[in-house]
Structure formats: C-alpha cells, structure tokens
Amino acid sequence: MSEEKVSQPQSFVGRTEPAVLSDLRARLRATRWPDAPEEAGWGLGVDLGYLRELVGYWADGFDWDAQEAALNRLPRFRATVGGLGIHYVHARAVAPTGPVLPLVLAHGWPDSFWRYTKVISLLTDPGAHGGDPADAFDVVVPDMPGYGYSDRPTGPPLDSVAVAGLWAELMDGLGYARFGAAGGDIGSHVSRYLALDHPDRVVAVHRTDAGVPVVSGDLAEFTPEEREWFREVAAWGAAEGAYAAMHRTKPQTAAVGLTDSPAGLAAWIVEKLRAWSDCDGDIERSFTKDEILTNVTIYWLTETIGSSMRMYRANGSIPPAQLARRVEVPSGFTLFPGDLVRPPRAWMERSTNVVRVTEAERGGHFAAFEEPELYAEELRTFFRPFRTPGPNPS
C-alpha cells in the first residue's frame, strides 16, 4: 500500500482542560430528572434510582484525572489513515520466546478502545501473568472513526467494510504484513470483513458472536437449530432492539439530547452495559462505577455519541451480497453466556471456516472487559497454531 495512506504515527496523550470538567459537573448537578412509576426498576429502561446515584458520584466523587492518567500509561498514538485521524493503542510484545503475532482488536458500541484496556498487558506480556511468553502478541487497538479519540467523519458514516479497509491500511503502515484479527459486536463485523477482503494478510480471525443473521430464501434449507436461532434473534429484536432501529433511522434526533445532557448520555449507555453483561441484574458485578464512568466520560469529552450511532445507519445499508459471503480464513468463536443471542454451530459452519468453538463459563457481551483473563487465554489458545511465519495454516 502507498505510504501516503498512513501518516507517521504521533504519540498521543489525553489532556482535559479543567473548565471542561467544571462544565460537566455543573450540568450533572443541574439535571432535570424525569418521573418514574413506583418499583419500575430496570423494566422500562434505566433504573432511575441507580442513575441518580451514579450521576451524583460522577459530579462529586469520580476522579477523571486519575482515570485519564491511567489511560495515558498505555502506548497511545494518532495517525492519518485513509484521510482520517485515527487514535489507537500500539503495545508491543514483552520478552517473547517465539514468533510474535500482531493482533488487531476491534471494539463495538457503546464503547471504544476502552473495551480492551484490561487485556492489553495480558496479551503482550503473558509471562508476567502466569502464561507462556511464547504466546505474546503485538497488540493494536484502534478507535473506529466516530468513536473515542478518532476523527468523526464529516461526510457519510463509514460501515464495517470500510473500517476493515482502514485497519488493513493501519496494520500495513505499522509494518505488519500478516496479522490476526479479533472482535465482538460491530468489531465482529469489522474482523469478518478483514478476513473476507484481506485473506492473504489475516492468518485467522476470532469473534465472540456471529452477528445478526440476514436470511433470504427457503427457511427449510436451514437446520432446526438455525431456524430456532432466527426466531430467538427476531424475539430479541422486538423486545430489545428499539435502540438499534433508532440508530439506523433517526440517530440525529437522539444525538441532540445525548450530546447536551451527560445524565441522558449515561442512561443510554449504562442500560446497555447492564443488559448485555453477565451481571445477573447487578451492573456492578461486571463494572465498577469508575469503569462505567470512564467509558461514558470518553463519549462525553469526545462528543462521539451521535457519530457512533450513525454507523448503524451505514451498516444497515451494506448490500445483502456482502452479508452472505463466507469467511474462508480459519475462524474461531468464544461464546459467552451473558451475551445477547448466541449462534448455533450449524450457522458458524455455514458462514465461516470454523476451526474452534468454545463456550465460556462466564462473561457477557463485553467479555474482554468483564473477564479479561478468560478472554486473553481464549485468544492465546486460538491463535497459537497460526504463529508460524508463512502461508495461512489450514
């Protein structure tokens, strides 16, 4: 690829002006709260009592300076990729004892590089965490355009196919001719298209879901397990999918309120963190308040809730022919019990070249954050056969 597609990386350090934090706290303290029926709990959306507690802590207890300093201890960079400023973590393997496999980790919504902050050191330095130093990776964790500290596209939003192309350019610019890819949520789609469009460079791909099925033709062609899964996905969409329908259709309407109200932003994100994690209804079994608010504060400071939602609209316009392509690159799946809708083996075999499927004992949609040790071990085990330089193993 041409050198001008990726600019020289520049070290990135997050710095938030005190006035910005003062404005945030003032807005939080001035929140105009809605009413709620008695004992509504989480049944109608976010639990108002929990949100008021969280917002109070955000205003008067949360130490963003400490969280920002912790994020700045990661090796963070910015580079221009395909004409857009992209923020990413690039952490190199520590004391490896064998071939180092570069690995790009693709996040989803509603998060950013934050999703993988707990697993970076587990992957780059497994020997320091009870693992085999031979399993060390060079890890690259980019923020998608319109998320985190990457640029917000000023034109039409980018879909997962386009983002996969950017990540291929980024990895090329970093000097990685061949690499592994892993992701979940939208990051699962991005990883899939990396494997589809760059099979000569992606040695293997690991995903925590198989996406939402788009099915045409005679349902009789599918197995009973697949047809049952289709029904489960449709039922989940009817009960829980209104957020995605709004993101696909009228994201700018909600973006006005979510960009102006930090309490509203927290409500929109926190309800999903709880619903999609393996927390058994208690969100703080999966995330501390500081962890929740670090994710939400990144969205607030970067003003990316609107741009992140617009990606759903772009993905909703991906042609059916793209969605029907089969991944021939060796593929692995780790399915977590608290995730949304878990695909049957028949679908994974139909849509990918499956070489490994495991079912984790715990963890949810944000497995890399909820269960970092378990997730890191899954990646180490899956990618172990693909470390030898040369053609893709089969």
Q: What is the pLDDT of residue 105?
A: 98
Distances in Å between the alpha carbon of 94 and those of 83, 254, 272?
A: 32, 44, 35
**pLDDT by residue (tens digit) across 151-191?**
999 999 999 999 999 999 999 999 999 999 999 999 999 99
Residue 36 domain flag: no
- Tell me if residue 343 falls in helix, strand or coil: coil
Longest Cα separation, the chain:
63
Q: Is the confidence at residue 213, as pLDDT, over 90?
A: no
Residue 68 domain flag: yes
Residue 37 domain flag: no
Rounded to whole angstroms, how far apart are CA atoms 194 and 163?
9
Residue 195 domain flag: yes
* Residue 365 a catalytic site member: yes
Average pLDDT (336-343) is 93
Q: Assign 2 a pLDDT band (cuts: 50, 70, 90).
A: very low
Average pLDDT (75-103) is 96
Distances in Å between the alpha carbon of 286 and those of 55, 215, 278, 378?
A: 18, 34, 7, 19
Residue 175 domain flag: yes
What contacts 280, CB < 8 A, 6 or more positions away? none
Q: Is the confidence at residue 386, as pLDDT, over 60?
A: yes
> Around Cβ 172, how many Cβ atoms within 10 Å?
19
Q: What is the pLDDT of residue 4?
A: 54
pTM, rounded to two decimals: 0.95
Q: What is the pLDDT of residue 1?
A: 36
Q: Residue 19: in which H helix or E strand, if any? A: helix 18-29
Active-site residue (options: 159, 185, 278, 339): 185
CATH of the domain at 225: 3.40.50.1820
> In the predicted model, what is the mean pLDDT of the chain?
95
Average pLDDT (95-123) is 96
Q: What's phi and psi for 203, nearest 5 deg?
A: -75, -30
Active-site residue (options: 107, 312, 339, 375): 312
**pLDDT by residue (tens digit) across 23-41?**
999 999 999 999 999 889 9
Residue 394 domain flag: no
Residue 348 domain flag: yes
Active-site residue (options: 107, 189, 206, 365): 365
**Which amino acid, one-letter code, is at 6?**
V
Rounded to whole angstroms, how far apart are CA atoms 252 and 355?
41
Q: Is the confidence at residue 388, as pLDDT, over 80?
A: no
Residue 392 domain flag: no
E strands, the chain, are: 10-11, 76-81, 84-91, 101-106, 137-142, 179-183, 202-207, 327-335, 352-359
* Residue 47 a catalytic site member: no
Task: Encode 298-313: b = buried (16+ Cβ within 10 Å), e = exposed.
Answer: bbbbbebbbbbbbbbb
Domain that holds residue 243: 3-31+43-386
Going 314 to 319 to 320 to 325, the CA torsion angle's sign is negative
Rounded to whole angstroms, how far apart are CA atoms 109 and 238?
19
Q: Is the confidence at residue 50, as pLDDT, over 90?
A: yes
Beta bridge partners of 183: 106, 207
Q: What is the pLDDT of residue 112?
A: 98
String of DSSP letters for 344-387: PHHHHHHHEEEEEEEE-SS-BTTHHHHSHHHHHHHHHHHHGGG-
The CA dihedral of 272, 276, 281, 282, to the nearest 10 degrees, is: -70
Rounded to whole angstroms, how far apart are CA atoms 21 and 62?
11
> For the chain, how many structural domains are there in total?
1
Q: Which of 77, 87, 84 is nearest to 107 (CA)?
A: 87
Cis, peptide link before residue 110, omega less than 30° from 0 = yes
**pLDDT by residue (tens digit) across 281-318?**
999 999 999 999 999 999 999 999 999 999 999 999 99
Q: Is the confidence at residue 215, as pLDDT, over 80?
A: no
> Going by DSSP bridges, is the β-strand pair 10-11/76-81 parallel, antiparallel, or unpaired?
antiparallel
* Residue 243 a catalytic site member: no
